Amino acid sequence: MRRMNQLILLATVVLSVSSNTEAQDPFPEATPLAIDTIMNSVLESGGSPGAAVAVVVDGKFRWSNAYGALDLESKIPTTPDSVFRFASISKMLTATATMQLVEAGKLDLDAKAREYCPALPSANSAITVHHLLCHQSGLRHWRKTAERYNQTHYRKIEATLSVIADSPLLFEPGTADEYSTPGYNVVGCVIEKASGMKYADYMQKRIFAAADMKNSFIGDPPSKNKNKARGHRPGPRGPRPAREDNLSIKYPGGGLSGSVVDLALFAEALFQGKLVNSDSLNTMWSQKPLKDGSLTNKGYGCNIGTEKDRKVVWHIGGVSGFCGNLYFYPDRKAAVAVLFNLEAQDVFPTASSIMDELLK
């Protein structure tokens, strides 16, 4: 009887920290406890004030939990619905939006990007939409501190292209791959032209609403949102508040924010075909070759590789004060989302270790 009471208590605790629990199957008893152990260990060793995790198994959102505080000053506890900056995980969502437009016949991946985004300088006329999505465009990444920690507010995506307008291409498009967040600004511009909607409106309607992501935003949430995590930076005496940069310079490639639950719902929606069909998902999650035929480790908005004998798809995000990872194991329709309100945490091994527990 005592053992039965313990099991009932454990189930109650697990359900109390899960979202959408009515639709969930219970986990094996050890799984949430093992994930909690991993996350608490990461927080203790890395010093992050707070974190959140959510998991998808067999294509369904199954469980979430949160740890620590939204910020060191208020000590307000983090919840699974707390809002963190997604950073470059945003590229996964933007790439998905692009494939929706391809399915709708409104966008051609092999078309020149300037056909949709005339603001792209004419010197870059050889760049295609495909090149942008898999980082083969030759456009550079951020170089200057003022770019990485931007304080200027850009009202239009086209205006952000002025930052790289005078920069020559690093290579002929398609001959190499070089990570470029400014390249995803061009993707955002392409989405606006192909859809006839502002990027923010399109993402809200076709991605956030379609995947039931109720705590996701273009940029930061409104200031009245009391569940927003505050970013922190490591310091010799422990974490300290990070200076907030203005995300408008990189909305499509690094400027979205939301909860870890929303990332899990995004993953669920991908697995269940709510956002794109299976052919589009396979296209996104396949390694893209260069002109010489050699394969890169990049798909559309993601990295692709083999880890622990399993094909994995992921994107790590890192921005001032935050980091995270959205990590997929496609063969099992499983995913792990982890978010921290501290820079430079060990997010890849954390997600991988949690996936190990799910696969048990």
- The answer as to whether 17 is a domain residue is no
CB count in 10 Å sphere of residue 63: 26
Segment 120-124 mean pLDDT: 91
pLDDT at 345: 86
Length of the chain in residues, anyone? 360
- The answer as to whether 295 is a domain residue is yes
Q: What is the pTM of this model?
A: 0.91
**Among 20, 12, 111, 35, residue whose Cα is nearest residue 359:** 35
**Phi, psi (degrees; rounded to nearest 5) at 192:** -65, -45
| Beta strands, E only, 205-348 | 217-218, 232-233, 240-241, 256-258, 303-307, 310-319, 322-329, 334-340
Instruction: Decide: 322 and 85 in contact? Cβ < 8 Å.
Output: yes
What is the distance between the alpha carbons of residues 165 and 187, in angstroms, rounded to a whole number?
15
To the nearest whole percent, how much of the chain has pLDDT over 70? 92
Please name the residues in contact with 217: beta carbons below 8 A apart, sequence gap of 6 or more: 83, 256, 257, 258
What is the distance between the alpha carbons of residues 171 and 87, in angstroms, rounded to a whole number?
26
Segment 7-20 mean pLDDT: 38
- The answer as to whether 304 is a domain residue is yes
Evaluated on CA atoms 97, 101, 102, 104, the torsion sign reads positive
The answer, yes or no, to whether residue 287 has pLDDT greater than 90, is yes
The answer, yes or no, to whether residue 8 has pLDDT greater than 60, is no
What is the distance between the alpha carbons of residues 267 and 52, in angstroms, rounded to a whole number?
16
Segment 281-291 mean pLDDT: 98
Segment 126-148 mean pLDDT: 94
Q: What angle in degrees, to the nearest 10, is found between the helix axes of 30-46 and 347-359?
A: 170
Instruction: Decide: 275 and 98 in contact? Cβ < 8 Å.
Output: no
Q: H-helix or E-strand containing 50? A: strand 50-57
The answer, yes or no, to whether residue 272 has pLDDT greater than 80, is yes
- The answer as to whether 211 is a domain residue is yes
Tell the residue number behind the tokens 């392409």, with chain if given.
Answer: 190
Segment 205-213 mean pLDDT: 98
To the nearest whole percent, how much of the chain has pLDDT over 90? 82
Confidence of residue 6 (pLDDT cuts 50, 70, 90): very low
**Among 55, 53, 27, 18, residue whose Cα is nearest residue 39:** 53
| Sheet with 310-319, side-by-side order of all strands | 60-68, 50-57, 334-340, 322-329, 310-319, 303-307
What is the distance between the alpha carbons of residues 139 and 280, in angstroms, rounded to a whole number?
25
pLDDT at 18: 42
The answer, yes or no, to whether residue 229 has pLDDT greater than 80, is yes
Q: How many independent structural domains does the chain possess?
A: 1
The answer, yes or no, to whether residue 238 has pLDDT greater than 90, is no
Segment 122-149 mean pLDDT: 94
Of 80-84, 164-168, 203-207, 234-238, where does mean pLDDT reach its minimum? 234-238
Q: What is the dihedral of CA 194, 200, 203, 204, to 10 degrees?
A: -130
Q: Per the structure block, which two tokens stand in for 281? A: 């998902």
CB count in 10 Å sphere of residue 332: 15
Segment 201-217 mean pLDDT: 98
pLDDT tens digits along 288-317: 999 999 999 999 999 999 999 999 999 999
Query: How does the average pLDDT of the chain come out, rounded?
Result: 91
The answer, yes or no, to whether residue 19 has pLDDT greater than 80, is no
Q: Per the structure block, which two tokens stand in for 74? A: 């208020």
The answer, yes or no, to whether residue 5 has pLDDT greater than 80, is no
Return the DSSP state at 323.
E
- The answer as to whether 15 is a domain residue is no
109, with CB counted inside 10 A (0-12, 13-18, 19+), is middle
Report residue 212 CA to chain centroid gap: 16
pLDDT at 22: 39
Confidence of residue 27 (pLDDT cuts 50, 70, 90): low
Q: Per the structure block, which two tokens stand in for 327? A: 């990590």
- The answer as to whether 111 is a domain residue is yes
CATH number at residue 182: 3.40.710.10
- The answer as to whether 317 is a domain residue is yes
pLDDT tens digits along 28-61: 777 999 999 999 999 998 889 999 999 999 999 9
What is the distance between the alpha carbons of residues 220 and 84, in angstroms, rounded to a whole number?
8
- The answer as to whether 144 is a domain residue is yes
Q: Which domain holds residue 79?
A: 28-359
